[in-house]
Chains A and B, each alone.
Chain A
Amino acid sequence: MGVEGIGARVTRKEDKRFLTGKGRYTDDMIVPGMKYAYFIRSPHAHATIRSIDASAAKAMPGVIDVLDGKQLQADGIGNLICGWMIHSKDGSPMKMGAWRPLAAETVRYVGDAVAIVVADSAGEARDAAEAVVIDYEQLPAVTEAVAALAAGAPQIHPEATDNLIFDWQLGDPEATDRAIASAAHVTEIEIHNNRLSPNPMEPRATLGIYDSAEDHYTCYTTSQNPHVARLVMSAFYNVAPENKLRVIAPDVGGGFGSKIYIYPEEIVCLWASKKTGVPVKWTSDRTEAFLTDAHGRDHVSKVKMAFDADNRITALKVDTIANLGAYMSLFSSAVPTYLYATLLSGQYAIPAIHANVRTVYTNTVPVDAYRGAGRPEATYLLERTIETAARELGVSPAELRRKNFIRTFPYQTPVIMNYDAGDYEASLNAAMQAADWSGFAARKAQSEAKGKKRGIGMSCYIEACGIAPSAAVGSLGAGVGLWESAEVRVNAVGTIEVLTGSHSHGQGHETTFAQIIAGRLGVPIESVNIVHGDTDKVQMGMGTYGSRSGAVGMSAVVKALDKVEAKAKKIAAHLMEADEQDIVIENGEVKVAGTDKALPWFQVALAAYTAHNLPAGMEPGLKETAFYDPANFTFPAGCYIAEVEIDPETGETDIVQFVAADDFGNIINPMIVEGQVHGGLAQGIGQALLENVQYDESGQLLTASFMDYAMPRADDLPSFKLSHQNTPCPNNPLGIKGCGEAGAIGSPPALINAITDAIGNNSLTMPATPMKVWQALHAAH
């Protein structure tokens, strides 16, 4: 404990660097002889490449080379892969179409990379790109998933008939249908989950460096998981064997999932560096980011929720079509399946659930995990459905939820998940109290007197974090294990480095991970450094996504620290001639309990390294490694309540109150957790009110800049009211559940429920722009 240990609001160690402009991002990396790349991208959503003529471009000033997909293929560079195998319900494997890092024959979305120009400057590379003549034969395109499944739709990959990637199901269809047939009431609704662009502040970038003397590659990249990048690039893309490939993800300015994946640019820059003999750097601009960073969401679902005469939910049936874009991105298949349908029980005891999911190719940017990944889609669907049911049944939405809450743990859902701990009513009560739920009617009357429409809506979300038990995900098709690693390295003078396979790109690991050490040993937080993001420095690790750094990454640190402590205690017991059982470590000292005998921490460390006087047979040194494989997912949950005031003349929504009551298990640093919730809420509110990726019919991206893609800004958001009702997670040593995605998961349905409550019309899709709200309001009256 203490002022810098677990639970303390330690200000972020990394912020000085970031706030003073001293962060070192991939684009800041400069190496001798470095040149610049420009990617030539398809201007068409769907076309065959007839020919590429780069002769004029190659003769332009500063140009080193222009390389295309045929050359890449000839050099044996492999296709991009999806790392999670899903089987259709007929047993057939998912239909993975070829994704070449540089398209050689066919382009399938606007932005598909076709060739790379390497030149002395970024400007010269771009000038030369304009001189490359590419003859395309345009093909018909389709951007909507439902349209892509329709008869006669353009065929995007020869491997996937009717553009269907898989037709998968989870749960018991017969039991579900039976329950629906005999229900006292069935609520039916169609749910759209809008397509989003992640927009981390730092656009993607990569620097590929080939060293011909060592036949060795270095890849600087904007990655959330540099080891996974190295593994995939060597195992599947044949860039280089792992021992000849170093991947460094230095400071990374946000990811939200979009930087999990291995994109064509990393691979192509490494290959181009070898081809040209110069280090090759590429930095995305914002429009390129809109055009090529994996998008999120984009589901259309039909839902049926059945109730008995006592308003208990008896069944849930979901039929979802998910748009995966032009190619299967690295984890794209897992998002609308095991990260989505497994959460469809929500916080409720539902005896029968059946989900059917069809995933579809379209001529759009690949879709993959984005903050929440699958759980926002499940939560939005479920929480709008139960709210709708409450309205149809004429009961309070809070009471309908309360009646159906799961109350005993562990609880086995019909859709794989086994919830370990939670107290959903505690969050519901806390949120309703903080929102002054009972005073709503009076506030509504006040709004009406001003000519405004007021509404209130809630959302009781659950999600699964801390991914994930390796054997479990392996049995479900994952190509990797989802454990995490840590090394705790005590230096000879007692200062400490923690090498973690987690990667920080905004989460504050340099602070929170150090808090664990500082708290356990009682050493100053300044004496602890967190090392991450470099495959040459850090042992194999799985990286950061799915709110796993706390539950999994920190658990690995605890395991390594346990080993370090055990060895330190042995050394101290030996030096102080005491019994090992009596040694305690606190306040920077190693003490014999109940005596005044003590050694400063650094002396024990020093003794480990001088090795002059160690217990017989003990190895010198004080450094331990641990790999932690979680026993289960963790299950953060909570209740969010939004209150809105609508201007009926313009349809504009003013969020007058937003309450978030969360159960994240134990909390390491409340300030950082609040920051994560604030950011998540901003993105969730962005999805609900503002953000939407839109294509035109020919597949051109209409929202390719911030002039057309509406990101939430500070004045779009209210001041949030947060609280925590924590039930510690029983399955990891710190009792952590995870907090990184909850805000984005729980908030959209709360807002839409509030708006539809205000306007008296439930037919509303996200984003609920002023125009859509105005139209829905006028349709209702």
Chain B
Amino acid sequence: MYATSYHRASSVEDAVRLRARNEEGRYLSGGMTLISTMKQRLAAPSDLIDLRHIPALRGISIDGRKVTIGAATPHADVAASRELRALCPAICELAGHIGDPHVRHMGTIGGSIANNDPAADYPAAVLGLGATVATDRRSIAADAFFTGLFEIALEEGEMVTAVTFEAPEKAGYAKFNNPASRFAMTGVFVAKTASGVRVAVTGAGSDGVFRHAGFEQALASNWSADALNGVSVDASRLLSDLHANAEYRANLVKVMAKRAVAAAG
């Protein structure tokens, strides 16, 4: 790791100010990605601005059916929240299967979506739920937030503060683990929301998380796993890597979508 200066921000404003002052600085949330990247010397931020001690960024709040998850909320808190489970069990299940217990107690939702690893789980939920990403300066719809592999719509120095969504009528997530990393080799999040059916696929797309229009249409007219039987998955948009080729991923996308519908009930 290269030398870096650590700052423990006390508030969102404090963090944004610190970040603005240090052009080569980075926000630090759970550090599960950033710190290991630094240890491998693949990242060299001059300053780390730690967000995990900002009370406003941490925790889950529920107002009617509106859910807000603070950016610095660890996966384990999401997995364990009874109130959230009562409204949207799928996101709790998803969070409970990220990485291992160490990762779930350190890694955060804000860090996960800001990183936008193409194999990460949360992007599927955020896109599938049609959530809104709140930042220190604006709100961004999920459809506009994830822009490519490790690419998101944030401006320089912009910070994710929370993820908000309306609890869906139904939702389900099915994940096929990469046997080595246990990230999603393919993960599909399905949701029946007030604005319609949404199906988001992670782990498989060569451009990162994406929605599957064919599945959405099929499920909109018939919410059942069987409704997906006749719908095809275009392998040409999918990743091929040392773990799985696009053809196999195309199969997984369909199988996981059906399982997600079954899980949603």
Q: Which A positions have Cβ atoms within 8 angstroms of B?
A: 123, 126-127, 287, 649-652, 689-690, 694, 702-703, 706-711, 769-771, 774-775
Contact = CB atoms under 8 A, between A and B. Distances in A.
A771 B239 CA distance: 14
B255 interface: yes
A694 B242 contact: yes
Contacts of A710: 179-180
A650 B252 contact: yes
Interface stretch (B23-31, B125-133, B190-198, B243-251): B243-251
Given A650-B255, A708-B180, A703 B248 contact: no
Given A771-B244, A774-B248, A707 B179 contact: no
29 contacts: A123-B1, A126-B41, A127-B2, A649-B255, A650-B176, A650-B252, A651-B248, A652-B176, A689-B179, A690-B179, A694-B242, A702-B242, A703-B180, A706-B180, A707-B181, A708-B242, A709-B180, A710-B179, A710-B180, A711-B180, A769-B179, A769-B243, A770-B179, A771-B243, A771-B244, A771-B245, A774-B248, A774-B251, A775-B248
Most A CB contacts (10 A, CB to CB) among B41, B179, B181, B245 go to B179
Contacts of B1: 123
Nearest to A772: B248
Contacts of A123: 1
Contacts of A689: 179
A114 to B, nearest CB: 18
Nearest to B255: A649
A770 B176 CA distance: 10
A710 B243 CA distance: 10
Interface in B17-52: 40-41
Nearest to A774: B248
Nearest to A694: B242
Given A694-B242, A708-B180, A774-B248, 19 more contacts: A123-B1, A127-B2, A287-B40, A649-B255, A650-B251, A650-B252, A690-B179, A703-B180, A706-B181, A707-B180, A707-B181, A708-B242, A709-B180, A710-B179, A710-B180, A769-B179, A770-B176, A771-B243, A771-B245
A708 B180 CA distance: 5
Contacts of A706: 180-181
4 interchain residue pairs of minimum CB distance? A710-B180, A710-B179, A707-B181, A771-B248
Nearest to A127: B2
B142 to A, nearest CB: 26
Contacts of B176: 650, 652, 770
Contacts of A694: 242
Contacts of A775: 248
Interface of B: 1-2, 40-41, 176, 179-181, 242-245, 248, 251-252, 255
Nearest to B251: A774
Nearest to B186: A650
A706 B243 CA distance: 13
A708 B185 CA distance: 12
B187 to A, nearest CB: 13
A694 B241 CA distance: 12
A357 B248 CA distance: 36
B205 to A, nearest CB: 17
A288 to B, nearest CB: 12
Contacts, number: 42
Provide the main secondary structure of the chain B interface.
loop
Nearest to A706: B180
A474 B115 CA distance: 59
A755 to B, nearest CB: 15
A126 B2 CA distance: 10
A769 B251 CA distance: 15
Contacts of A690: 179-180
Contacts of B181: 706-708
A364 to B, nearest CB: 16
A770 B251 CA distance: 12
Contacts of A649: 251, 255
A698 to B, nearest CB: 14
Contacts of B243: 708, 769, 771
A306 B255 CA distance: 44
B21 to A, nearest CB: 25
A332 to B, nearest CB: 26
B159 to A, nearest CB: 27
B36 to A, nearest CB: 9
Nearest to A689: B179
A706 to B, nearest CB: 7
A650 B245 CA distance: 13
B184 to A, nearest CB: 13
A123 B242 CA distance: 32
Nearest to A778: B251
B245 to A, nearest CB: 7
Contacts of A703: 180, 242
Contacts of A650: 176, 251-252, 255
Most B CB contacts (10 A, CB to CB) among A689, A690, A711, A770 go to A770
A690 B176 CA distance: 15
Nearest to B100: A713
A652 B244 CA distance: 13
A123 B41 CA distance: 11
Contacts of A651: 248
A651 B179 CA distance: 12
A623 to B, nearest CB: 49
A590 B6 CA distance: 69
Nearest to A703: B242
A514 B237 CA distance: 63
A196 to B, nearest CB: 14
Nearest to A651: B248
B109 to A, nearest CB: 21
B197 to A, nearest CB: 22
B160 to A, nearest CB: 24
A240 B2 CA distance: 37
A123 B44 CA distance: 14
A703 B176 CA distance: 20
A230 B244 CA distance: 46
A706 B252 CA distance: 23
A453 to B, nearest CB: 15
Nearest to B41: A126
Contacts of B41: 126
A652 B177 CA distance: 10
A488 B255 CA distance: 64
Contacts of A711: 180
A717 to B, nearest CB: 13
Contacts of A769: 179, 243
A689 B176 CA distance: 16
Nearest to B258: A649
A709 B242 CA distance: 10
A670 B250 CA distance: 48
A710 B179 CA distance: 6
A739 B12 CA distance: 60
B162 to A, nearest CB: 29
Contacts of A652: 176
B240 to A, nearest CB: 11
A774 B252 CA distance: 10
A690 B182 CA distance: 12
Nearest to B176: A650
Nearest to B40: A287
Contacts of A708: 180-181, 242-243
Contacts of B179: 689-690, 710, 769-770
B12 to A, nearest CB: 32
B91 to A, nearest CB: 23
Nearest to B1: A123
B203 to A, nearest CB: 13
A651 B248 CA distance: 10
Nearest to B248: A771
Contacts of B251: 649-650, 774
A703 B244 CA distance: 14
Nearest to B179: A710
A62 B180 CA distance: 38
A770 B249 CA distance: 11
Nearest to A713: B182
